[in-house]
């Protein structure tokens, strides 16, 4: 069976290679986190399929690269329009496959998918100026040339959004692409592949190989025929990929996990702080950027905690298709067990769990209650490791110095949220925070022009605007002398 029908939408279960659908003899089972229902047997790729896809992408590369930004852009803008026309289908599919809220997919995530394509297509046309500056009369001419085949490995927490955050700039830069979506959420990438055909993107420019990380992912990242690896996922997997890339010296861009602080100062608007803190449960906590360590000034801790509790108590957990739902299920039994394991060990260690701390027994399945751990033992697992579930920790501080020390005191540096009532104070704090993105009195405001990535173990490199092109392209400087010209 080469197709599955999910909520009335037909999705091909085969790989998409060189413009064709190719089946593997082996498959893996895809399920829905909403209720565990079966969503299909999916082609399970390995070395052979990866070889085919990289070859197809390499063959398609010269013509795609030669088209230039404007012609590529016209096709990519068509693709963005097709995504927009399919927002409802994509939202329904993604919600079934990964259990994130349908209303978020409709309103925010899928429109963002279209933006990811459109923004980078337009940036390549309008913003990547071939800069010129002079050195003793010589001109430096900087260009961003297509580099080859980009290998893109993506996670399951925002499958198509995170995939197109890479696919958009890679294709706009003139690279061709092999995408390996996460094995728990293959459907949206397959549906998207059909849209690339409808948009007129030439065969082989965009390819999808489905399968497990240790099979398809490992074969792809070790392949000598690729020119770039962009990966979003966990730190341990990034290390494996870095080793695989080392033999070919393939440049890597890594966007990894976090244990981001959310700092609430004594001069903060505590209603705003509580609102922002509760937002950290978004996507059932399966967000790399989530500010999972709430650090609050001791003098306002009790008032803040009460406001937080009041707001958290209003969160509705349930079926992500229900518009009233705020928190859906965890993605997969394996992940659910992992999240529960963190909380169970915290309990065994005698940590104070003041909210949640257990599966939602009314709902059963993969639903884990929003959880708060108060004053976790410093250095303990629950406050240092990325849980990637609806689990927040709350700690107190008594000075800015201590707040900064705690905020910066993990191996991660992806994001930070600062809630402060004084601009001068917030400026002093943000200057000393180590993080790729800091939000002051807000959360999740993201502009595709801005750099995005992590410090320390949270990532390698930055993407967004020019940073994306600096990575996917071969940046070239041509120095031209004023002398030696005959015409
Ligand atoms: P993972 O990092 O193993 O998976 C992400 C992607 O990498 C998937 O497509 C997977 O197939 C692929 N992959 C796995 N092993 C590979 C290999 N050897 N070579 C090439 N590709 C490989 O993440 P996983 O196991 O799904 O989740 C574990 C933890 O990772 C989570 O609990 C969370 O803490 C973190 N995570 C962070 C994400 C982020 O957005 N930064 C996203 C997903 C997970
Ligand atoms: Mg699934």
Domain residue extents for the chain: 3-256+458-478, 261-440
Over 90: is that where the pLDDT of 1 sits? no
Ligand nearest to the CA of 240: 1
Whose structure tokens read 């089946």?
Answer: 23
Q: Starting from the CA of residue 95, give the closest ligand.
A: 2
- Ligand 1 atom closest to the CA of 220, numbered from 1: 20
Residue of the nearest CA to atom 28 in ligand 1?
234
Atom of ligand 1 nearest to the CA of 156: 43
Ligand at minimal distance from the CA of 284 is: 1
- pLDDT value at 129 more than 90: no
pLDDT digits (tens, 9 = 90+) for 15-27: 999 999 999 999 9
Region 448-457 average pLDDT = 98
Measured at the CA of 112, the angle between CA 106 and CA 118, to 5 degrees, comes to: 135
Residue 181 has pLDDT above 90, yes or no: yes
Cβ partners under 8 Å of residue 485, min gap 6: none
The burial class, CB within 10 Å (0-12 / 13-18 / 19+), for 399 is: exposed
Q: State the distance from the centre of ligand 2 to the C-alpha of 232, rounded, in angstroms.
A: 18
Q: Is 257 in the pocket of ligand 1 (CB under 6 A)?
A: yes
pLDDT tens by residue, 212-243? 999 999 999 999 999 999 999 999 999 999 99
Which atom of ligand 1 has the smallest separation from the CA of 338? 32
Q: Which letter, b or e, does each residue of 183-212 get, where b requires 16 or more Cβ atoms within 10 Å of its Cβ?
A: bbbbbbbbbbbbbbbebebbbbbbbbbbbe
Q: Does domain 261-440 have CATH number 3.40.309.10?
A: yes
CA of 137 to the centre of ligand 1 (A): 50
Q: How far apart, in whole angstroms, are the C-alpha atoms of residue 49 and residue 20? A: 12
Show the tokens assigned to 55.
């070859």
User: Strand, coil or helix: what is 446?
Assistant: coil
Instruction: Output the CA–CA distances (angstroms, integers) from residue 91 to 42, 180, 206, 452, 466, in the order listed.
Output: 20, 20, 21, 24, 29
The whole-angstrom separation of Cα 352 and Cα 469 is: 47
pLDDT at 130 exceeding the cut of 90? no
Q: Taking residues 23-35, what's their average pLDDT?
A: 98
Helix %, strand %, coil % of the chain (to 5)? 40, 25, 35
Ramachandran assignment for 463, one of left (phi > 0), alpha (psi -120 to 50 degrees), beta (any other) = beta
> For residue range 85-99, what is the model confidence (pLDDT) as tens digits?
999 999 999 999 999
CA–CA distance from 77 to each of 26, 110, 122, 415, 448 (Å)? 36, 15, 8, 31, 16
- The angle formed by the CA atoms of residues 229, 233 and 234, to the nearest 5 degrees, is 115
Whose tokens are 């080392």? That residue is: 246
Would the pLDDT of 457 be above 80? yes
Percentage, residues of the chain above pLDDT 70: 100
27: which strand partners? Answer: 43
pTM equals 0.98
Testing ligand 1's pocket by substitution, the residue of 46, 234, 337, 386 carrying the most ligand atoms inside 8 A of its CB is 234
Ligand 1 pocket, 33 CB below 6 A? no
The predicted-structure confidence for 410-447, as pLDDT tens digits, reads as follows 999 999 999 999 999 999 999 999 999 999 999 999 99
Q: For the beta carbon of residue 359, count every other beta carbon within 10 angstroms.
A: 18
Nearest Cα to 282, choosing from 112, 433, 37, 108?
108
Backbone torsions φ then ψ of 5, nearest 5 degrees: -110, 120
CATH 3.60.15.10 fits 3-256+458-478, yes or no: no
Which pLDDT score is estimated for 132? 80
CB 293 within 8 A of CB 435: no
Average pLDDT of the chain to the nearest whole number: 97
Question: Nearest CA to 327 among 295, 355, 299, 298?
Answer: 355
In angstroms, the CA 79 to CA 101 distance is 24
The reply to whether ligand 1 has any atom less than 6 angstroms from the CB of 178 is: no
Contacts of residue 163, defined as CB under 8 A and 6 or more positions apart, other chains included, come to: 152, 154, 179, 181, 188, 189, 192
User: Average pLDDT for residues 364-389, to the nearest whole number?
Assistant: 97
Ligand 1 contacts CB of residue 388 (under 6 A): yes
Contact 368, 284 (CB under 8 A): yes
For residue 301, pLDDT over 80 is answered with yes
Select from 117, 41, 113 the least CA-distant residue to 74: 117
Q: What are phi and psi of 15, to 5 degrees?
A: -65, 165
| Average of per-residue pLDDT across 321-341 | 98
Task: Report the sign of the C-alpha dihedral through residues 167, 168, 169, 174, in that order.
Answer: positive
């Amino acid at each position: 069976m080469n197709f599955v029908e999910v909520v009335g939408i037909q999705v091909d279960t085969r790989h998409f290679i060189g413009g064709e659908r190719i089946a593997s003899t082996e498959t893996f089972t895809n399920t829905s986190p909403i209720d565990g229902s079966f969503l299909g047997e999916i082609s399970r790729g390995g070395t052979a399929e990866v070889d085919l896809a990289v070859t197809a992408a390499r063959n398609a590369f010269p013509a795609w690269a030669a088209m230039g930004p404007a012609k590529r852009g016209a096709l990519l803008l068509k693709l963005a329009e097709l995504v927009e026309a399919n927002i409802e289908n994509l939202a329904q599919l993604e919600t079934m496959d990964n259990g994130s809220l349908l209303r978020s997919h409709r309103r925010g995530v899928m429109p963002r998918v279209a933006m990811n394509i459109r923004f980078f297509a337009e940036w390549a046309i309008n913003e990547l100026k071939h800069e010129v500056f002079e050195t003793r009369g010589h001109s430096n001419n900087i260009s961003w040339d297509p580099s080859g085949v980009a290998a893109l490995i993506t996670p399951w927490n925002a499958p198509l959004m995170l995939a197109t955050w890479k696919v958009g700039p890679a294709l706009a830069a003139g690279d061709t692409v092999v995408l390996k979506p996460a094995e728990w959420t293959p459907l949206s990438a397959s549906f998207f592949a059909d849209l690339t055909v409808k948009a007129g993107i030439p065969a082989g420019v965009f390819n999808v190989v489905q399968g497990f990380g240790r099979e398809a992912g490992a074969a792809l990242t070790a392949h000598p025929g690729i020119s770039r690896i962009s990966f979003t996922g966990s730190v341990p997997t990034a290390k494996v990929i870095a080793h695989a890339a080392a033999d070919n010296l393939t440049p890597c861009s890594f966007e990894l996990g976090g244990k981001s602080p959310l700092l609430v100062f004594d001069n903060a608007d505590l209603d705003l702080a509580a609102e922002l803190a509760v937002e950290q449960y978004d996507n059932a906590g399966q967000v790399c950027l989530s500010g999972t360590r709430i650090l609050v000034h001791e003098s306002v801790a009790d008032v803040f905690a009460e406001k937080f509790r009041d707001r958290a108590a209003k969160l509705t957990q349930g079926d992500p298709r229900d518009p009233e739902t705020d928190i859906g299920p965890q993605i997969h039994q394996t992940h659910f067990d992992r999240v529960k394991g963190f909380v169970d060990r915290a309990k065994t260690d005698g940590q104070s769990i003041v909210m949640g701390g257990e599966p939602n027994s009314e709902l059963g399945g993969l639903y884990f209650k929003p959880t708060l751990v108060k004053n976790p033992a410093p250095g303990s697992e629950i406050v240092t490791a990325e849980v990637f579930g609806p689990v927040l920790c709350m700690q107190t501080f008594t000075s800015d110095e201590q707040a900064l020390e705690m905020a910066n005191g993990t191996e991660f540096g992806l994001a930070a949220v600062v809630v402060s009532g004084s601009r001068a104070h917030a400026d002093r704090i943000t200057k000393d925070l180590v993080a790729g993105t800091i939000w002051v009195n807000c959360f999740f405001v993201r502009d595709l022009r801005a750099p995005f990535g992590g410090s320390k173990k949270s990532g390698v490199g930055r993407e967004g605007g020019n940073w994306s092109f600096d990575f996917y392209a071969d940046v070239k400087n041509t120095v031209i002398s004023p002398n030696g010209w005959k015409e």
